[in-house]
Amino acid sequence: MSDAARARLFFRDAEHKLTLIDTLKHSESEAHEGDLRTGGKGAVHDSGGSGQHQADPQTTTSEKHADIFAKQVTERLKSELNNDAFTELVVVADPSFLGRLRDHMDNPLQDTVRKTIDKNWAQHDERQIEKQLDNQL
């Protein structure tokens, strides 16, 4: 279950009971846009030393932080996959964050994805998630 600020990793047993494995947090994604800093809005220093310019004025700082967190989440999933922690994956995430996760998944990780659910269940408790998964799977 994931959004741009928190991801929870669960194991689901044969009886469909969830066990929380870990919670990943990205506090910068919860901050107000004006409180975030990434070196300016896409600031890139010119190699000639003549100053800096905006790399991508369409990308907000909060979007950059969401992308950073999506990469962290997928790196954790890749690590777990490499350690044989799972063979199938169900990814549930806020629709905009789900796209970011997909962008960072390599082929071996994508091959384990049984289903994606574009819903924001990040604030739901385990019982609610178990029920909703039963309805979706």
At residue 41 the predicted structure's pLDDT band, cuts being 50, 70 and 90, is: very low
Q: What is the mean pLDDT of residues 71-87?
A: 95
pTM as predicted: 0.73
Can you list the positions of beta strands (E) in 1-137?
Answer: 6-12, 18-25, 43-45, 52-54, 89-92, 113-117
What domains sit in the chain, N to C, each tagged with a CATH number?
6-30+58-136 (3.30.420)
The confidence score (pLDDT) of residue 62 equals 76
Burial class (CB in 10 A: 0-12, 13-18, 19+), 101: buried
Give the pair of three-digit tokens for residue 120: 């924001």
Lowest-confidence segment of 10-19, 40-49, 108-117, 123-132 by average pLDDT: 40-49
- Residue type present at position 4: A
Q: Please state, in angstroms and as integers, the Cα–Cα distance from residue 133 to each residue in 7, 79, 91, 110, 111, following that order.
A: 16, 24, 11, 20, 20
From 81, 96, 87, 93, select the one nearest 114 (Cα to Cα): 87
At residue 4 the predicted structure's pLDDT band, cuts being 50, 70 and 90, is: low
From 106, 120, 136, 96, select the one nearest 8 (Cα to Cα): 120
Place of tokens 């998630």: 129
